Amino acid sequence: MPDHTHDHQPAPAPGQPHDHAHDHAHAHAHAHDDAVAQARGHIAAPTRSLRLGVAGPVGTGKSSLIALVCRELSGELALGVITNDIYTDEDARFLRSAGVLDPERIRAVETGACPHTAIRDDVTANLLAVEDLEEDFAPLDVVLVESGGDNLTATFSPALVDAQIFVLDVAGGGDVARKGGPGIGRADLLVVNKTDLAPYVGVDVPQMVADATTARDGRPVLALSRHDAASVEALKDWVRVMLAAHRAGAHVPQDPGPMAPHFHADEDHPAGGILHSHA
């Protein structure tokens, strides 16, 4: 397998030379980008899509958030979606059936036992899927990558995504935001989702947002419900601002940090599962 890891240095200033020590696929993509930039008379910041990861525990609303972004922004931006499921392409099928984006722009990567590996340790399958999508539908503005839903520890490698959203929901309880973890603490955006359900589960949303903001040293937290138009607008604005920063070379992809050791149920494994970490 070719090594698809590549560093995400800040984009070079216009006219500055930059390092092309990537693998062949990236070199190809960059050569194309550079040709486009040179045709416009300058070497610009990255012209490929903003690759935006969406991670978070099972059922917090990652697919729904992606569907929302597609429904709200596909008229304005050229979008693509990659989903990661452990054994199925269920998330991709859900998104295709939502009818919010051309079904061909939604592709699934099946990750095998550990969804974390595919978004963090060996991102090759995901990178190839993203690059194929970018090539087939060029030029794309944003490619959204959904991680396999798992627990609180999943984060994307900055070799795969430029920015990442971590999704919690109020139904998981108000305490979750205080418990921290790399995604909660350092994702580019933390979403506290399904705020419409807060009265039913006894969660104080402003308090949960305040706790999360403290856990994140002031990084942004968005209280979201698909039924709350103002919160949907705020999500759209965040995506627009991140895309503008990416295009300007002003956004440096961050690594939220390694995942904690965790356990996967696995019927094929003699001990019934695998405890491992991705440090």
- Sign of torsion, CA 223 229 235 237? negative
CA 107 vs CA 122, 123, 128, 134, 192: distances in Å: 18, 15, 11, 12, 26
- Sign of torsion, CA 174 84 188 137? negative
CA 215 vs CA 74, 161, 181, 183, 234: distances in Å: 33, 23, 9, 11, 21
Largest CA distance in the chain: 61
Question: Is residue 58 part of the contact set for ligand GTP (CB under 6 A)?
Answer: yes
Binding site members for GTP: 56-63
Residue reference for tokens 């695998």: 274
Q: ∠ at Cα 161 (158, 162), nearest 5°?
A: 85
Q: Give the interface segment with ligand GTP, choosing from 53-61, 151-159, 210-218, 237-245 (CB under 6 A).
A: 53-61
| Interface with ligand GTP in residues 77-106 (CB under 6 A) | 91
Question: Is residue 85 part of the contact set for Mg ion (CB under 5 A)?
Answer: no
Question: Is residue 91 part of the contact set for Mg ion (CB under 5 A)?
Answer: yes
Q: x/- binding map, residues 136-175, to ligand GTP, per CB under 6 A? A: -------------x--------------------------
**CA–CA dist 111, 119 (Å, integer):** 9
For the bound state, the minimum distance from the C-beta of residue 100 to Mg ion, rounded and expressed in Å, comes to 14
For the bound state, the minimum distance from the C-beta of residue 53 to ligand GTP, rounded and expressed in Å, comes to 13
Closer to ligand GTP by Cβ: residue 60 or 111: 60
Q: Give the interface segment with ligand GTP, choosing from 31-39, 55-63, 244-252, 259-267 (CB under 6 A).
A: 55-63
Cβ contact 95:106 at 8 Å: yes
Using DSSP's 3-state secondary structure scheme, residue 46 falls into: coil
Q: Which of 49, 60, 63, 147 binds Mg ion (CB under 5 A)?
A: 63
Using DSSP's 3-state secondary structure scheme, residue 177 falls into: helix
Question: Is residue 197 part of the contact set for ligand GTP (CB under 6 A)?
Answer: yes
| Interface with ligand GTP in residues 5-24 (CB under 6 A) | none
| Interface with ligand GTP in residues 218-247 (CB under 6 A) | 225-226
Interface residues with ligand GTP (CB under 6 A) are 58-64, 91, 149, 193-194, 196-197, 225-226
